[in-house]
Amino acid sequence: MLRVARQRAADEGLGNVDFVQADAQVHPFPAAAFDVAVSRTGTMFFADPVAAFRNIGGALRPGGRLAQLVWQPPAGNEWLLSFTRALAAGRPLPTPPPDAPGPFALCEPERVRTVLGAAGFTDIQLEPHSESMWFGQDAAAAERFVLGLHGWMLDGLDDEGRLRAVDNLRTTLAAHDTDSGVLYASATWITARPIRDNPAGGEREGEGNDHELVRRHPRSRSELDRRPRRLRAACGERTRRGTTRRRTAHRSIGRASKFLPSTPMNHCTTRAGASLGF
């Protein structure tokens, strides 16, 4: 992924971008160096979220902002329920503990408030957001994408079971194939609050999951409005109306560090100064 990201940056002539692999829980960020920290569907994978957010908070200046997007509970995410039901092929699938690292580890507002509060963040508020997710231009493209992402769910099935599961997937994808592509409902929380006083960040003990770190340096402000409108608003910026798709890769301006658990297309920036993404 880092190789591809570097190549894409080079192809676009982005000489102001560095790509580094790091762990947000223990990475030695410079203290009080950033104005905003941003994540889109990344923070729920922290093995020790309190340690990670405390470490990130230590890198924010007093009054710096945290903006994150995490999934709401599975009931509001049609895409997950549909894919899980199809690929399970009638099998009961295990459910991870609610506080274990995973896509829904931060789906409950009270847990988000507890974790961020323990890490030193204040004035924590969550804004619900619903958006159709785009999985491909047609059912065939969406099938390739979904099997690449969730194909592990076929493990343990015999040949007949695998065929049945894939047929189930094709059925639901065909039912959601529209003129705009294959769309499923999704539901998320957007958290965007300042941190009044930097917590005692910089803990370096413990272990966590590696994420890719992307550091971006000053670039043209003209790229600002390519980001999802609500995330731009969460960063304290004026926004204008626009639409986004899951497949769209957005750029960022300002000096930024990004932790991306699975894809290099998440982003956010500040109006001025430095930003930290993960």
Per-residue model confidence as pLDDT tens digits over 168-201: 999 999 999 999 999 999 999 998 765 545 444 4
Question: Per the structure block, which two tokens stand in for 155?
Answer: 């493990």
Per-residue model confidence as pLDDT tens digits over 5-64: 899 999 999 887 667 788 989 999 889 988 889 899 999 999 999 999 999 999 999 888
As beta bridge partners, residue 257 has: 215, 276
The CATH number of the domain where 53 resides is what? 3.40.50
Listed in order, strand segments (DSSP E) in 171-273 are 177-178, 181-194, 211-216, 255-260
pLDDT at position 267: 32
Q: Give the residue numbers spanning the domain of 225.
A: 2-277
Say how many domains are in the chain.
1
User: Which residue pairs from 203-206 have beta carbons closer than 8 angstroms and sit at least 24 positions apart in sequence?
Assistant: 203/26, 203/51, 203/54, 203/55, 204/26, 204/28, 205/26, 205/51, 206/25, 206/26, 206/47, 206/48, 206/51
Out of 122-126, 151-155, 274-278, the most confident range is 151-155
Of residues 217 and 61, more confidence is placed in 61
Q: Cα–Cα distances in Å, from 211 out to 16, 22, 263, 278?
A: 20, 6, 10, 8
Q: Cα–Cα distances in Å, from 274 out to 61, 94, 239, 254, 264?
A: 10, 42, 19, 6, 19
- Measured distance CA(57)–CA(53) in Å, rounded: 6
pTM: 0.72
